Amino acid sequence: MCGIVGYIGYRDAYPVIINGLKRLEYRGYDSAGIALVDNLKPVIYKVKGKVSDLETFVGDGNRNGYMGMGHTRWATHGEPNDNNAHPHVSMNGKFVIVHNGIIENYSFLKKKLASRGYSFKTDTDTEVLANLIEYIYLFAKVSAADAVSLALRKVVGAYGIVVFCVDEPEQLIAARKSSPLVVGIGQNEYFIASDASPFVDYTNQVVYLDDENLAVIGKGAVQIKTIKNDIVNAEVRKIDFDAEEIEKGGFDHFMLKEIFEQPKSLRDTFRGRIDEHHSSLQLGGIMPVMPKLINARRLIIVGCGTSWHAGLLGEYLFEEYARVPVEVEYASEFRYRNPIINSEDVVIAISQSGETADTLAAIQLAKKCGACVIAICNVVGSSISRVADAGVYTHAGPEIGVASTKAFTAQVSVLTMMALFIGRAKFNISAEKYTELITELNSVPEKIEELLKTASAVKHVAEKYKDSSNFLYLGRGCYYPVALEGALKLKEISYIHAEGYPAAEMKHGPIALIDEKMPVIFIACQDKSYEKIVSNIQEVKARKGVVIAIVSEGDKTVSAMADHVLEVPKFNTAVGALTAVVPLQLLSYYIAVMRGCNVDQPRNLAKSVTVE
């Protein structure tokens, strides 16, 4: 939700910030803006649209300056227009600010400031914060950094901010709470951004700011303290992803690249975890909490969007192998109930970004109730990975496309490894079976590699049904979450209405929708509910529905009934979900491209949802 980049050093700040913003556009792309500090004065450009629109708008204008800040927005308060775009300037022009998050008590603060003579030019909560900082600065006659700290102590809500004060023009002030900020430390230059991708070309030394930390970034040093003025001895860490990973690498879109990267990303997920004989698993991240996991009364899996779908698959896996009761919850629902949790429960939070506000809040609630929390995250050093008691990184590499693909298969792979690991530790799985299951899991990257060679068959189906207005996705058992994920992918990027359902539930409602115009996608791989799903397909055919079936290779029965079949490798276990989802990812991709949609930046969405 909004991307922030700040720079202070010896380079021209404009290209550093603009290129950095482009890498953060996955966080929002309603409007974009930049403030450069030239001759100690801010020069500001902001415009509705994408970073490329900002570049056009700047044109041949003044682009000088060795420091500055930029912002790409996902609107919360105030419609996306030029005026509401960031940066915002305080009423007397003393402060310039970019902000990611929501100031929840902004209307209370706005009224207070208005009663003290402040007026507002925009509808944003950010301008209120700018004016609050300025008011404190002028009234209390403190330093800019102290004014920021004091203002933030009055704020309820979430913020990642970068602030510039015209009276102290050789420094940037950054602070965060519940919205990520990372400081990049180069040689005589510093970067600040919502994640490290904007500055990986320049440095791999980073400091992750913690909640309520404030960094004063000058030309030669960074000082970090809390907003209550306590000095923080922040750890400088080394990050290990390179710039190539965040380029399109010859693909038309990040999403396509990420779909095709799955063999590699899964190998990375397995690396160092599956031994060469496939007889054991190493999950160092959860070792400290294994006694808790083995003795857990219940597992509660929380997540949002695609991560929640991975959680639903986790339910099958943990119940099957670890033999422990599992509940899967939308983080946003869980956090607002009064859930009954105690220290015998283990909560598993799944999040690609590790920054999703609802998932983070669910973790905090679970911890307060005494539960042990394990995180499954992709982004190393993210907020969720840092607040959890233990965790397993998916190591899928940066995922830029807003629609999640490789992160999903990596999450499901981690859940599979965890379920097997716990199952074996509890003696639910024999050594022989354990090896068989690990071998099956380890074969998935190679199987996906083969499967991707048949992408043109999926394209053919896409061509035929790209103009449909509705799709139904049906699956049973472990293929039910796959159906949900397939439907989500289609609606996210092609704006076609799509619903996922357990196949047997079809007759309790969705069957009423079926006619010759309704493509119904069945995930009909051969497993224990295969016979049942065959009957469901017949029910659809009897009502003239169009059936597109994902089937296990060599399938004859469904192939004889369906209008189109797409074959996937045959598995006897829930591992099949990892391959069955791939043609559905491709189908949504091709349909979206054929409909002229912006695949990587679908309307209204953002990849990292750091607001409620």
Residues that bind ligand G6P (CB under 6 A): 304-307, 351-353, 356, 359, 402-404, 605, 607-609
Using DSSP's 3-state secondary structure scheme, residue 68 falls into strand
- Any alpha helices (H) in 100-124, and if so which ranges? 106-115
By the 8 A CB rule, do 64 and 96 touch?
no
CB of 50 to ligand G6P, least distance (A): 17
By the 8 A CB rule, do 384 and 363 touch?
yes
d(CA 116, CA 93) in angstroms, rounded, equals 17
Q: Which has the closest alpha carbon to 527: 563, 480, 559?
A: 480
Name the phi and psi angles at 226, rounded to 5. -85, 165
Helix 406-425 / helix 576-594 crossing angle, nearest 10 deg: 170
d(CA 56, CA 4) in angstroms, rounded, equals 20
CB of 156 to ligand G6P, least distance (A): 23
Q: Which is nearer to ligand G6P, 30 or 567 (CB)?
A: 30
CB of 102 to ligand G6P, least distance (A): 16
222 Ramachandran zone, left/alpha/beta (phi>0; psi -120 to 50): beta
CB of 400 to ligand G6P, least distance (A): 11
Q: Which is nearer to ligand G6P, 402 or 506 (CB)?
A: 402
Distance of CA 577 to the CA centre of its chain: 21
- DSSP letter string, 541-605: HHTT-EEEEEEETT--HHHHH-SEEEEE---SSTTHHHHHHHHHHHHHHHHHHHTT--SSS-TT-
Residue of 2, 304, 372, 478 marked active site: 2
What tokens were used for 390?
């233990």
CB of 29 to ligand G6P, least distance (A): 13
Q: Which is nearer to ligand G6P, 306 or 409 (CB)?
A: 306
CB of 351 to ligand G6P, least distance (A): 3
CB of 469 to ligand G6P, least distance (A): 23
Q: Which is nearer to ligand G6P, 131 or 588 (CB)?
A: 588
607 labelled catalytic: yes
Using DSSP's 3-state secondary structure scheme, residue 435 falls into helix
Residue number with the shortest CB distance to ligand G6P? 305
Q: Which is nearer to ligand G6P, 4 or 8 (CB)?
A: 4
Q: Which has the closest alpha carbon to 46: 147, 121, 113, 132?
A: 121
Indicate if the alpha-carbon torsion angle 241, 245, 246, 247 is positive or negative: positive
Q: Which has the closest alpha carbon to 214: 128, 133, 141, 123?
A: 133
CB of 262 to ligand G6P, least distance (A): 15
2 labelled catalytic: yes
Q: Which is nearer to ligand G6P, 353 or 529 (CB)?
A: 353
Residue of 46, 48, 447, 607 marked active site: 607
Q: Which is nearer to ligand G6P, 72 or 307 (CB)?
A: 307
Q: Which is nearer to ligand G6P, 75 or 525 (CB)?
A: 75
d(CA 302, CA 483) in angstroms, rounded, equals 19
d(CA 95, CA 372) in angstroms, rounded, equals 43
Distance of CA 591 to the CA centre of its chain: 23
Buried b (16+ CB within 10 A) or exposed e, 168-200: beebbbbbbbbbbbbbbbbeebbbbbbbbbbbb
Residues classed as catalytic: 2, 607
